[in-house]
Structure 1
Amino acid sequence: MAIKSIQYNQHTLDISYEILNPQAKVDLIILHGWGSNKNLMKQFFSPYMDSFRHIYIDLPGFGSSTCNLALTTKDYARVVELLMIHLNASKDIILGHSFGGKIALLLEPEVLVLVASAGIYVPKPFKVRAKIALFKFLKIFGLAKFREFFVANDAKKLSEPMYQTFKNVVDEDFSKEFSHYKGKALLCWGKEDTATPLSSAQKINKLIKDSKLIVYEGDHYFFMKNAEDISDNIEKTFLKTLEHK
């Protein structure tokens, strides 16, 4: 594990990363989801794809990386890009799980691997919308201290900058960004995913012209049991890009 200090918007972010197969010529950047870290992704993908240089990154505010300002998804993409410049990394293949998928998309790699990616807005159930409305009402009367009873599980116990970041990124719709992506995309999804439902994958598959959707048994973390097959498909997808060069 290594740490690189990145200067961004007059703040210093310490970004933790790890590189495997450092002599490989093709870069594979792997980005985790919200609330996760690079070690989870490394645990499941590091045994495979040894012809690629794996770069695992703790996104700002997660794992061993720091974050002392509110960020947007575009900010995250820029920070990752600055780290890539430091590492002399190319945008050959970028894999993103969940929230990491939106960041991967904005980086516009040659091959985009979306693993249960966020980015398609899914309307909240009535119960959740009612909860939000009640909290906003209580804030008017200075009762914001009860925030933890109303926020999503993903946002509980977050620092103030990360809570603001969560609010910035949680309900984004990247339909336009998906439709503008011009590279080759591999979409891997869990059939029983409730966080980013299969309907989101089907929409993305229609929006990205050169994309392929593979559906697996499992939920939002289906990749834990299917990393080998996903890895095989990543290698095949990348090889197809070489056929047209």
Structure 2
Amino acid sequence: MAVKSIQFKEHTLDISYEILNPDSSVDMIILHGWGSNKALMKKAFAPYMDAFRHIYIDLPGFGGSTCNLALKTSDYARIVELLMIHLNASKDIIVGHSFGGKVALLLEPSILVLLSSAGIYRTKSLKVRAKIALFKFLKLFGLSKFREFFVAADAKKLSEPMYQTFKNVVDEDFSKEFASFTGKALLCWGKDDTATPLSSAEMMHKLIKGSMLSVYDGDHFFFLNHAKDISQNIENTFLKTLEHK
């Protein structure tokens, strides 16, 4: 594991990363989801794909990486790009789980691998909308200290910069970005996923021209049990890109 200090918008962010198979010539960036870290992704994929240089990154605010300012998803993509410049890494293959899928998409790799990716907006339930309205009402009377009773589970106990970041990224609709992606795209999903449901995968599959969709047993973290098959799909997708060059 290593740490690189990145200068971004007059702030210093310490970004933790780890590289496996350092002598391999094909780069594969692997990005985790919201609230997770690189260790989870390494646990899944480290045993496979020896021909690729694995680069596991803790996104700012997670794992061993710091974050002292509010960010947007586009900021995350730029920070990853700055780290990639330091590592002399190419955008050959980028794998992204959940929130990391949106970051991966903005990086515009040759091969995009989305694991239960976020990015398709879903209308909030009446219950959630009511909680948001009540919290906004309480804020008018200086009662925002009760925030933790109203925010989503993913946002509880976050620092103020990370809470603002969460609000920036949670409801983004990347439909246009999916539709404009021109590289190869492999979508892998858990059929019982409730965080990013299979309907989101089907929408992305329609939006991304020529994309491939593989559905597996399991929930939002299905890839932990299917990493070997997913890895074979990634390798086959990479080989197909070589055939068309």
**Structure-2-length-normalised TM-score:** 1.00
Please tell me the residue identity of whatever aligns with 1:20.
L
Does residue 127 of structure 1 match 2:127? yes
1:211-226 equivalent positions in 2, closer than 5 A: 211-226=211-226
| Residues 66-121 of structure 1: per-residue CA shift (max 9 Å, x gap) | 00000000000000000000000000000000000000000000000000000000
Q: Which moved more, 1:120-129 or 1:159-168?
A: 120-129
Partner of 1:168: 168
1:1-245 equivalent positions in 2, closer than 5 A: 1-245=1-245
| Residues 133-167 of structure 1: per-residue CA shift (max 9 Å, x gap) | 11011111111010000000000000000000000
Rounded to whole Å, the distance in 2 between the matches of 1:210 and 1:48 is: 25
Rounded to whole Å, the distance in 1 between the matches of 2:225 and 2:150 is: 33
Q: How far does residue 210 in structure 1 lie from its aligned partner after superposition?
A: 1.9
| Residues 18-64 of structure 1: per-residue CA shift (max 9 Å, x gap) | 00000001000000000000000001100000000000000000000
Rounded to whole Å, the distance in 2 between the matches of 1:35 and 1:222 is: 16
Rounded to whole Å, the distance in 2 between the matches of 1:7 and 1:20 is: 25
| Residues 149-204 of structure 1: per-residue CA shift (max 9 Å, x gap) | 00000000000000000000000000000000000000000001010000000000
Rounded to whole Å, the distance in 1 between the matches of 2:96 and 2:124 is: 23
Please tell me the residue identity of whatever aligns with 1:46.
A
SS of residue paired to 1:12: strand
Rounded to whole Å, the distance in 2 between the matches of 1:82 and 1:189 is: 29
Please tell me the residue identity of whatever aligns with 1:58.
D
Aligned residues: 245
Rounded to whole Å, the distance in 2 between the matches of 1:19 and 1:140 is: 48
Runs of 4+ in 1 over 6 A off after TM superposition: none
SS of residue paired to 1:64: coil
Q: How far does residue 234 in structure 1 lie from its aligned partner after superposition?
A: 0.3
Rounded to whole Å, the distance in 2 between the matches of 1:138 and 1:66 is: 31
SS of residue paired to 2:68: coil
Please tell me the residue identity of whatever aligns with 1:29.
I
Please tell me the residue identity of whatever aligns with 1:188.
C
Please tell me the residue identity of whatever aligns with 1:154.
D
SS of residue paired to 1:109: coil
Rounded to whole Å, the distance in 2 between the matches of 1:239 and 1:173 is: 31
Identity of aligned residues (%): 80
Rounded to whole Å, the distance in 2 between the matches of 1:53 and 1:39 is: 16
**Structure-1-length-normalised TM-score:** 1.00
